[in-house]
Amino acid sequence: MDQLTAYVLHLADNNLILTQRNGEWCGHGPILEQDIAITNITLDLIGQSRNFYQYAAGLINNSAGAANLQPATEDSLAYLRKEREFKNCLLVEQQNGDWAQTITRQFLYSAYQYFLYEKMQHSKDEQLAGIAAKAFKEVSYHLTWSSEWVIRLGDGTEESHERTQNAVNELWRYTGEMFEPTAYEQQMAAEEIAPDPSALKESWMKKVQEVFEEATLMIPEKTFMQTGGKKGIHTEQLGYILTELQYLQRTYPGAEW
């Protein structure tokens, strides 16, 4: 697999897995308006993942040696790859927990996506630039929505503050991986196709600190960062997610609505 394909799959996998996690809230949100809001965010993310998977499928099908293989599709890439073939960050596969943990996870990831897509709009790869330009508008809303919720919960009641701080303490260990470039990310940065993720950390941290200060939340100190997801080494959570996500297609191969 070439580095561009690996990178595009990484982007697609991040959004697909977070889509699956957020989708678990459908019908279970704390109030109707927010149930609809997180479902709409989930629809945005699945749309982005589809765009990336379609691009990746085209790259795979056009690669040398692909002529004798079953053509890749967005469905085959989502439903028929194994756990070690997924390249999503560990953050997005973490359990929902309570509403505070789901909101915190969304905020940390949306802040990263915001700065990623902001830069990727200027990619030398026209396909990625186009996807990023559309996605940037969506992610801008995701970041605003999740930021407001982090502030509302963090600076709310004693219980909401405690739950949100606990969520930060639990999830912070998975944030460092987003900014540690893999070989495929380094190659994309060298070719000016995508930004070096390490270059996004300062802007991301500034945004996080700004929101956390207003939310009266503390960033954990001296946290050991968990990594591996972008290279296919995941927590046990991904296996459970894929079991549910891929069940129908693996049970009834080729099934269509």
Question: 3-state class of 76 per DSSP?
Answer: helix
Residue with tokens 């915190």: 104
CATH number of the domain enclosing 200: 1.20.1260.10
Could you give the CA distance from residue 256 to residue 76 in angstroms, rounded to a whole number? 12
Q: CA 227 → CA 150, 191, 204, 238, distances in Å?
A: 25, 25, 18, 14
DSSP H helices in the chain: 3-23, 32-61, 74-79, 90-93, 99-120, 126-154, 158-171, 183-190, 201-214, 236-251
**pLDDT digit string (tens) for 180-194?**
999 999 999 999 999
Domain of 65?
3-251
Q: Which two tokens stand for residue 55?
A: 């691009």
Within-domain flag for 131:
yes
**pLDDT digit string (tens) for 118-158?**
999 999 999 999 999 999 999 999 999 999 999 999 999 99
Residues 81, 102 contacting (CB under 8 angstroms): no
**pLDDT digit string (tens) for 99-122?**
999 999 999 999 999 999 999 999
Within-domain flag for 138:
yes
Domain count, the chain: 1
Within-domain flag for 256:
no
Q: What is the pLDDT of residue 1?
A: 77
Q: Rounded to two decimals, what is the model's pTM? A: 0.94
Judge whether residue 9 has pLDDT over 90. Answer: yes
Question: 3-state class of 30 per DSSP?
Answer: coil
Q: Which residue has the higher pLDDT, 102 or 35?
A: 102
Q: What is the pLDDT of residue 222?
A: 82
Within-domain flag for 257:
no
Q: What is the pLDDT of residue 257?
A: 64
Within-domain flag for 125:
yes
